[in-house]
Amino acid sequence: MTPVLSAVRAVANDDRVGLFDLQRQRARLESDLKARIDAVLAHGQFILGPEVEMLEKRLAAYTGAAHVMGVSSGRDALMIALMAIGVKAGDAVFVPAFTFAATAGAVVSIGASPVFVDVDPMTYNMDPADLELAIAEVEAEGRLKPAVVMPVDLYGLPADYVAIGKIAAKRGMTVLADAAQSMGGAAGNARVGALAPISATSFYPTKPLGCYGDGGAILTEREDLAERVRMIRSHGRQGTGDAAMVLGLTGRLDTIQAAVLLVKLDVFEVELDRRRVIAARYNHGLRDVVGVPVMPDGLRSAFAIYTIRVPHRDRVRVLLDEAGIGTGLFYRLALHEHPAFRHFDGRRLAVSERLTGEVLALPMHPDLSDEEVDRVIAAVRAAMAKV
C-alpha cells in the first residue's frame, strides 16, 4: 500500500492525528449520503444520470463558469481539455515543474511536449517571469509551437492568472488551469473555474470537494470547447448519436459519484471556512519556527493541503511520526526528476528543486479539532527544537 493510500484509508485513531480523515466527514453526512446513493440505485441510470446534470448545474452556479462537464478524474479532465483545445504532437504546453505527475502526464499522453517552468519562491505557483523566458526559448529553438499554458493552483492557492493570461494572450496561446487542488479557491470576487478560459478539477477523495472514487470536472466559458468536451468524454459521440465525430474516450463522471458530491457541495462553504481557520491557526502557531504558506491579498486558497517549509525535512518528518502526527510530501520530486519525464528536462528549475527537499504537509481536513491542531503545532515546535 502506498503512503498516500494509507492516508486516505486512515480511520480516526484517537492517538494519531492523520494527514487526512474521510471517516469523520462520512459519519457527519451519513444519512444524506445513503439517501442520495439509494436514489441512484433505485433509478438505475448509472452513467450520465440526473445527479450528474444536477451537479454540473450547481457547480456552474457556484463557480460562475458557463459550462461544467463531469468527467472520470482530474487527469482525464486535463487530457480531455487539451484534446478539446486541439493540442497535438509538436505543440508545447508550459507547466510548472513543481506539481503532481498527472499535470505532465496528461500532456505527454496526447503526444504534446511539456515545457517545465520554475515556480515563485513565495507562492510555489508558476513564475510568470520564467514562463516568459521558457516561451522565448521555445520560440528561439523553433522545434515546438507554443500552444497552451497550464498553471497549477498548488495546494489550493490560485495561480497568477492575470499575469499569465497577458503573456498567453500576446501569443494567442490558451490558458488551461490545472485546478485539481483548488475548487473553492478564489481571486477577488471570481471563483476557481472562472479564472481561466478553461479549467480542470479533481474530485479525488482527499480533495476539498472529493467523491468516493475517481472523478473530475471541466469548467469553461467557451461553448465550442464545452461541446467538444461532451463529445470526447463519451466516445466522441454527439448527443445520442452513435457516430464517433471525434476521437473520444470513456471519460464520464459516474452517477453515484455525482450523488456523493451533491451532498458534499451542500456543506462545502462551511468546510472551506473551517480549513481556512485551521490554516490561520497553524500560521499563527508556527510562523516563527518554520516557513508557513503565504496568504496573498485578494487570493483565497481552498487549503487542499497545508504545507510548511523546513530544513532537515526528513528528520522532522520522522520526529512528527513518532509524536503521532501524519505528514505528507507534496512533492518529493519535481516533474523533470520523474523517470517518465526526464527526457523533457533542459531548463534551470532551481526553486522547484529546492522545494522538493523542504516541503512538509501537515494534517488538514475540516474535521480537525482545535486541540488536534494545537497538538500538531506543539509537535512541530518540539521537532524544530531538536533538529
Ligand X SMILES: Cc1ncc(COP(=O)(O)O)c(C=O)c1O
Cα four-point dihedral sign 350, 351, 353, 357: positive
123 binds ligand X (CB under 6 A): no
The verdict on 184 binding ligand X (CB under 6 A) reads no
Total residues interacting with ligand X, rule: CB under 6 A:
15
Least distance in Å: CB of 202 to ligand X?
3
Tell me which of 74, 128, 193, 210 binds ligand X, using CB under 6 A.
74
Determine, following the binding rule CB under 6 A, whether residue 113 of this chain makes contact with ligand X.
Answer: no
Taking the least distance from each CB to ligand X, the nearer of 75 and 275 is 75
Nearest CA to 48 among 266, 245, 239?
239
Q: Which helix (H) or strand (E) holds 266?
A: helix 255-266
25, 63, 73, 307: residue in contact with ligand X (rule CB under 6 A): 73
Instruction: Single out the residue of 80, 93, 131, 152 in contact with ligand X (rule: CB under 6 A).
Output: 152
Q: Which residues have a Cβ under 8 Å from the Cβ of 343 and sit 6 or more positions away?
A: none
User: Using the rule CB under 6 A, is 259 a contact of ligand X?
Assistant: no
All three cell numbers of 130:
520564467
Q: Which residue has the cell 517549509?
A: 309
Distance (Å, whole) CA 169 – CA 172: 5
CB hemisphere CA count around 134 (13 angstroms): 32
Residue selected from 148, 180, 196, 373 as contacting ligand X according to rule CB under 6 A? 180
Of 132, 135, 177, 176, residue with least CA distance to 156: 177
Residue 178 interacting with ligand X (CB under 6 A): yes
Query: Does 99 participate in binding ligand X (rule CB under 6 A)?
Result: yes
* Using rule CB under 6 A, residue 79 touches ligand X: no
Piece in contact with ligand X (CB under 6 A), picked from 68-76, 222-230, 321-329, 338-346: 68-76
3-state secondary structure of 181: coil
Element (H, E) at 52: helix 50-63
Kindly state the smallest distance separating residue 108's Cβ from ligand X, in Å: 13
Q: Would you say 125 or 234 has its CB closer to ligand X?
A: 125
Return the number of the residue (104 or 292) whose C-beta is nearest ligand X: 104
Distance (Å, whole) CA 328 – CA 335? 17
Residues that bind ligand X (CB under 6 A): 73-75, 99-100, 102-103, 152, 178, 180-181, 202, 204, 214, 216
